[in-house]
Amino acid sequence: MASNERSFVLWLHGLGDSGRANEMYLKDRFTVPELAGTKWAFPTAPSAPVTCNDGAIMNSWFDICNAPITSKSVRGLDDVLESVQKVHAIIDKEISDGTDPGNIFIAGLSQGAMIGAMAIGSVLLYPNTLGGGAVFNGFLPFNSPVEDRIFPQAKKTPILWCHGMLDTLVPFEAGDDGKEFLQKLGMNCEFKAYDGLGHSLDEMELEYFQEWLKHQLGRSSKKSHFSACGLFNKFCS
């Protein structure tokens, strides 16, 4: 990525967590020069009753009816779509401020991954190709009926999906099912299984995520260069 280009990472926390807590944990972990100018945002979900936790009020992007969460678990689609719209508003604002969509990334853990669960839902239903979506121990927040709402441009957004093989809250099979769903859509989904990891973030995952971000930003920069060359050949070496 060229030094004058903007990039943006939107990180979505898991059930009962907060953006502030995630920011404190993550903000100093991405230190490579390629990400030095990257803007990060850590929004907090609204507080709402959560069915699987006996109606307890907590920060939640959408209601979860039961746990463990599988690919066949009941989804409150209206709930999901409402949160997706909020995420899209953040992305739209960032684009209007001058960030290229190809330099925008959505990432999240568990419910926040919505593909972690919120990350994938937001990527799939956005009417443009983004830089990428990263899911950590996530699940698809909806099933096949939503396929008709998925934009062709969104299918070009690359996905990184990391899942712990010992996860008991969102079992590994839920992640594997999500990967297959995305691949059937024709999407580029890199799936990484972590032996011995439960429902949590791991240093190895975050290190790989950092390298993945660097790679995707490099690809975006090359695309921008080639596009410019197509219009202004005499200025390109």
DSSP for 97-147, written as a single string? TT--GGGEEEEEETTEETTEEHHHHHHHTSSS--SEEEEES---SS-GGGG
pLDDT at 228: 36
Catalytic residues: 110, 167, 199
Q: CATH number for the domain including 147? A: 3.40.50.1820
pLDDT of residue 13: 92
Q: What is the pLDDT of residue 162?
A: 95
Asked whether residue 52 is assigned to any structural domain, the reply reads yes
In a domain, 118, yes or no: yes
The answer to the question of residue 183 being in a domain is yes
CA angle 196, 197, 201 (to 5 degrees): 155
Among candidate residues 105, 99, 36, 49, the one with its CA nearest the CA of residue 79 = 49
Closest CA to 140 of 152, 163, 129, 153: 163
Q: Is 177 inside a domain boundary?
A: yes
pLDDT at 142: 67
Instruction: Please check whether residue 1 lies inside any domain of the structure.
Output: no
**Which pLDDT score, from 0 to 100, does residue 233 have?**
38
Task: Please indicate, yes or no, if residue 204 is contained in any of the structural domains.
Answer: yes
Residue 2 lies inside a defined structural domain of this protein: no
pLDDT in tens, the chain (237 residues): 544 578 999 999 988 999 999 999 998 899 899 998 899 999 999 999 999 999 999 999 988 888 888 777 766 678 888 889 999 999 999 999 999 999 999 999 877 555 446 787 889 999 999 999 999 998 887 665 677 889 999 999 999 999 999 999 999 999 999 999 999 999 999 999 999 999 988 899 999 999 999 999 987 655 544 343 343 333 332
The count of domains in the chain is: 1
Range of the domain at 188: 8-235
**Buried b vs exposed e over 72-94: b needs ≥16 C-beta within 10 Å?**
ebebeeebbbebbeebeebbeeb
pLDDT reported for residue 67:
86
Question: Is residue 209 in a domain?
Answer: yes
Q: Kindly give the pairing relationship between strand 39-41 and strand 8-12.
A: parallel
